[in-house]
Amino acid sequence: MSAPIALRRAGPADHAALLPRTRGLNDHEGIAISDAALAAALARLLADPAIGGAWLIERDGAVVGYAIATFGFDLEYGGKDAVMTELWIDPPARGGGVGAAAIELLTATLRDLGVGALHLQVRPENPARALYGRSGFVASPRIVMTRKL
């Protein structure tokens, strides 16, 4: 039986533990962002809990991944909502239920913070799409459109 999974909100002191993992996720997804811009954005997120947060996923006290959620506000969901912008499980920890456990812990944490809905985006070919479906996420009847500013 696997050790229980814990979720711990990250702070500025966790920047060094998170940065290589965020770089790994962005590289894996083919997202072009400079090291400097990534480090600065992560530092800002860790310093300002009003915009969202990063949570370290731990097993036996060791970090095995992280999740990031940022906050918004939408009347459709009664106010505060969140977007899980990143979920990363270190490759050796994948496939054992860590991701599913982390999503459940994050959901409970966000509910306690007054969040009424959790959104995410996933590429159709991403194997994590099955995990998200099993975790209760459903495809929205909307098309996500983005305009970079």
In a domain, 49, yes or no: yes
> Please, which contacts does 21-25 make with residues 24 or more away whose CB atoms are closer than 8 Å?
21/65, 21/66, 21/88, 21/90, 22/66, 22/68, 22/86, 22/88, 24/88, 25/86, 25/88
DSSP state of 102: H
In a domain, 10, yes or no: yes
Residue 1's pLDDT is 42
In a domain, 146, yes or no: no
Tens place of pLDDT for every residue, the chain, 149 residues? 467 999 999 999 999 999 999 999 999 999 999 999 999 999 999 999 999 999 999 999 999 999 999 999 999 999 999 999 999 999 999 988 999 999 999 999 999 999 999 999 998 888 889 899 999 999 988 888 887 88
Q: How many independent structural domains does the chain possess? A: 1
CB proximity list for 96: less than 8 A, separation 6 or greater: 2
Range of the domain at 106: 5-134
In a domain, 44, yes or no: yes
Tokens encoding 41: 């954005």
In a domain, 118, yes or no: yes
Q: Please answer whether residues 17 and 8 qualify as being in contact, where contact means their C-beta atoms are separated by less than 8 angstroms.
A: no
The domain spanning residue 84 has which CATH number?
A: 3.40.630.30
In a domain, 140, yes or no: no
Length of the chain as a residue count: 149
Residue bearing tokens 């097993």: 59
Residue 18's pLDDT is 97
Q: Taking the complete model, does pTM exceed 0.85, yes or no?
A: yes
In a domain, 145, yes or no: no
Residue 21's pLDDT is 97
Residue 76's pLDDT is 92
In a domain, 149, yes or no: no
Half-sphere exposure of 47 (CA within 13 A, CB side): 6
